[in-house]
């Protein structure tokens, strides 16, 4: 819900989650907190990596169109075969939150998967690559 009370807009000059500055017409309220649009959308639709319905729909698309960020992630995985999430974040230039969202989407399309390393760590690989 967009905050429409003038006094609340005056007081809501900062997102209470990410602390980004807010203009008077950029403040949203969710669960009693004043949020920027990005944090508001995250609150309404949190990333769900394990979502069977999204996997079902995503993997059955006739044509899978990837965003530029998703193309970059898949290119890095083709080049390196497997990358730890922190290495993929560093190489892709994405923030942790952006990477989390892109990984979830790629997993839903069955293009990317996680695998455990012998030392108990986690790496990301292309879906068809086997250990």
In order of 1, 5, 11, 91, 109, the CA distances from 28 in angstroms are 6, 11, 12, 33, 31
Handedness of CA 38, 43, 49, 53 (dihedral sign): negative
pTM of the predicted protein model: 0.61
Per-residue pLDDT tens listing for the chain (131 residues): 555 555 554 554 788 988 889 887 888 888 988 888 888 887 877 666 566 656 566 666 667 788 899 999 999 999 999 999 999 999 999 998 889 888 888 887 888 999 999 999 999 999 887 65
| pLDDT recorded at residue 18 | 87
**Paired tokens of 71:** 């193309």
pLDDT at position 109 is 82
- Stated length of the chain: 131
């Amino acid at each position: 819900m967009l905050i429409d009370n003038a006094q609340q807009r005056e007081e809501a000059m900062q997102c209470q989650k990410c602390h980004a500055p807010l203009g008077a017409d950029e403040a949203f309220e969710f669960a009693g907190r004043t949020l920027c649009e990005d944090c508001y959308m995250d609150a309404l639709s949190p990333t769900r990596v394990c979502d069977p319905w999204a996997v079902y729909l995503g993997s059955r698309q006739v044509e899978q169109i990837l965003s530029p960020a998703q193309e970059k992630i898949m290119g890095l995985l083709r080049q390196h075969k497997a990358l730890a999430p922190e290495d993929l974040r560093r190489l892709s230039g994405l923030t942790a939150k952006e990477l989390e969202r892109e990984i979830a989407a790629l997993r839903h399309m069955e293009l990317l998967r996680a695998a455990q390393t012998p030392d108990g760590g986690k790496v990301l690989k292309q879906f068809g690559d086997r250990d």
